[in-house]
Structure 1
Amino acid sequence: MAVPKRKTSKASKRTRRTHQKASSNAVSYDSVLGVYKRSHYISPDGYYKGRKVID
């Protein structure tokens, strides 16, 4: 089994992990409802991309 020869320093570890962060949700404006909502989600009223998809 491979074992590291030396301890990984905090700086090296944190440098490697700089890209592992949470991103913000994509928000778009819904012209039918007149509110901001998350992209690619159906509104509680059943609208998606300005048209009714769920009754």
Structure 2
Amino acid sequence: MAVPKRKHSKARRDKRRNNVWKIEAPVLIKCEQCGALKRPHRVCDSCGTYRGRQIIVKAAQEA
């Protein structure tokens, strides 16, 4: 079994780990109904539609 002869430095350890914890920005697409930016496969926050169907009735649309 391979055993390290000397301790690896913290810098070397962190260089190995640095790519694991990167966070990417979420992908945004335009809503088909209102054109607002939304995340894919989710109900639109501004108009409340999903795949062309009205899922959530918003207060702005009621009045």
TM class, shorter-length: 0.5 to 0.7
Higher relative contact order, structure no. (Cα contacts within 8 Å, ≥ 6 residues apart):
1
Query: How many residues in Structure 1 have an aligned counterpart in Structure 2?
Result: 52
Q: CA RMSD in A?
A: 2.4
Q: Extract structure 1 runs of 4+ deviating beyond 3 A.
A: none
Of all paired residues, the percent bearing the same amino acid is 23
Uncovered stretches (5+) of structure 2, i.e. residues with no partner: 58-63
More divergent stretch after superposition (37-46 vs 17-26): 37-46
**If the length of structure 1 is used for normalisation, what is the TM-score?**
0.61
Instruction: Name the structure with the higher strand share.
Output: 1
Instruction: Name the structure with the higher helix share.
Output: 2
**If the length of structure 2 is used for normalisation, what is the TM-score?**
0.56
Q: Which has the larger radius of gyration?
A: 2
